[in-house]
Amino acid sequence: MTMSALGEPCVLLKLGEVVLKGNNREVFERRLQANIRAALKEFPFKVDLRQRHGVIAVFLPEGTSAEVADAVAERITYVPGLVWVHRAWRVAKDPGAVTKAAIELLADREDVRRGVSFAVRSRRRDKRFPLTSMQIDRTVGGELNDIYGLPVDLKNPELVVSIEVDRDEVFVYTGGLPGQGGLPVGTSGRGLVLMSGGIDSPVAAYRMMRRGLRVDFLHFSGIPFTTSESIYKAYALVRALDRFQGGSRLWVVPFGKAQQSIKASGQDRLAVIAQRRLMLKTAEEVAHRLRAGALVTGDSLGQVSSQTLQNITAQDDAVDLPILRPLIGLDKTEIMATARRIGTLAISELPDEDCCTLLAPRRAETAAKIADLKQIEKRLDAEELAVQLADSLQEYKLEG
C-alpha cells in the first residue's frame, strides 16, 4: 500500500449512547474526549481529536505508520462510550482521490483474491461534495468491480468498503473493531468496588465502568492469618481493569483479626453474613473518605448461600450508601463469558488464600435475621471496628 494513494492513516470513532443525551450531550462528549486522550498517553505523541456529528476523528502526526495507527485504534477500543473503532485513511475531497484510495485499500488482500462479494457504502455529511452518496457507491463500486472482478452483493456483502465525506476530508476504510459501548467513565460519579480475587467482582467493576462510574477498588485481606497472595491477585485484576478507565486505585484492609473476632462470637451459621456486613460498614467508611457515592459488589441472586434474597436484604441494612449489584440477574456462565472477554478470568482462576475461607461453617445461614446480626455487631462494637479497619487502609499504586 502506498501512502500517496491511501492518504494519511487515522482512526474514526463512532459514538453510541452518548448521541442520545440531548442538552447534556456536550458534557458527555468532552468527558469521552478526555478519556481518549488519557488512554493514548502511552504513545510518544499528541493526537488531534475532532468531533463531528456523532463521530470523533483521531488525526495522528504526519509520518505515522499504519502499524502505529493500528495500535492506537486497538488501544481506543477499551475506552467506554464508543461502539465502533475504524482504522481509516484520510484522503482529499476529490472523487478521483477517493476512488484511487478504495482501489489501493483492497490491493493484496487475501479475501479479495478469493473473490468475496462486496458493496460500497457511503455517507456524505458535507452536501457540497459533487457526488451524492448513491453516485459515490456506483462510481467507486464500478471501478472496484472492473479491477478486481468481485461480485456485488448489496444486501449481505462479505466485504464492505466504507466512505465518509466530511467537512475537510474523506475517510475510507473497511471493517472495524467493536468498542465497549456504554457511557464515558466519570459521567456517572464515583463508586467503590469490594474486590475479591474471584470471578464476579471484576466483572461487576467493568459493568459499572461501562455505565460511566469511575471506581476505586477495596480488597479485604486475611492478613495476618493468610499470606499476601490475595493482594497480588487483586492487584493483577485491577491492572487488567485499568485499561477501561485509567488512574485506578487499589486499597487493602487487613481483615484477619476482625474475622477471628466474628468467629469467636459463637454464631457459626451467621458468621459469613456478619462478616459481609462488617465489610460493607468498613467499605462505607472508606467510601466517605474517598468521596464515593455508592458501593459495588459482585452479588448474583441465589449463586451462593450469602446471596439469597433474605441475606442480600440483611446486607443492605448494614449501610446507608446504595449498594450496586450489576450482576444480580446473571448466571455464572454469563459472568464467566464476560470475564474471559475482558481478560480477567485467567487471573481470577489462579489459586490464592481467600480471607473468606477463614469463616467457612459446615452450614451457612440462608435466611439471616437482621436482629440476630445486630446482636453480634453490638458485642463486637461493629461501628467502631469499621472505623478502625478503615484507619488501617493501605494503598497499592499501579506501576507504569
249 labelled binding-site residue: no
Run of H or E including 1: none
Upstream peptide bond of 61 is cis (omega within 30 degrees of 0)? no
Say if residue 51 carries a ligand binding annotation: no
String of b and e for 120-150 (b: at least 16 CB within 10 Å)?
bebebeeeebebebeebbebbbeebeeebeb
Which bin fits 168, alpha (ψ -120 to 50), beta or left (φ > 0)?
A: alpha
Q: Quick check: helix, strand or coil at residue 129?
A: coil
Question: What are the φ and ψ backbone dihedral angles of 43, each rounded to 5 degrees?
Answer: -90, 145
- How many whole angstroms separate alpha carbon 328 and alpha carbon 82? 25
Burial of 376 (0-12, 13-18, 19+ CB in 10 A): buried
Q: Does the annotation place 276 within a ligand binding site?
A: yes
> 348 and 311 in contact (C-beta within 8 Å)?
no
Angle at 33 between CA 32 and CA 35, to 5 degrees: 65
3-state DSSP call for residue 385? helix
Task: Provide CB contacts within 8 A for 177, sequence distance 6+.
Answer: 73, 74, 77, 84, 85, 86, 87
Residue 214, annotated ligand binder?
A: no
Owner of C-alpha cell 497480588: 232
Residue 260 labelled as part of a binding site: no
Q: Which residues pair with 324 in a beta bridge?
A: 296
Residue 8 phi, psi (nearest 5):
-110, 140
CB 212 within 8 A of CB 186: yes
Q: Residue 125, annotated ligand binder?
A: no
Has 195 been labeled as part of a binding site? Answer: yes
Residue keyed to cell 477498588: 217
Pairing, β 323-324 against β 294-296 = parallel
Closest CA to 259 of 289, 226, 227: 226
Alpha carbons 296 and 344: distance in angstroms, whole number? 17
Residues annotated within the binding site are: 194-195, 219-220, 276, 298, 307
Q: Which residues are annotated as a binding site for ATP?
A: 194-195, 219-220, 276, 298, 307
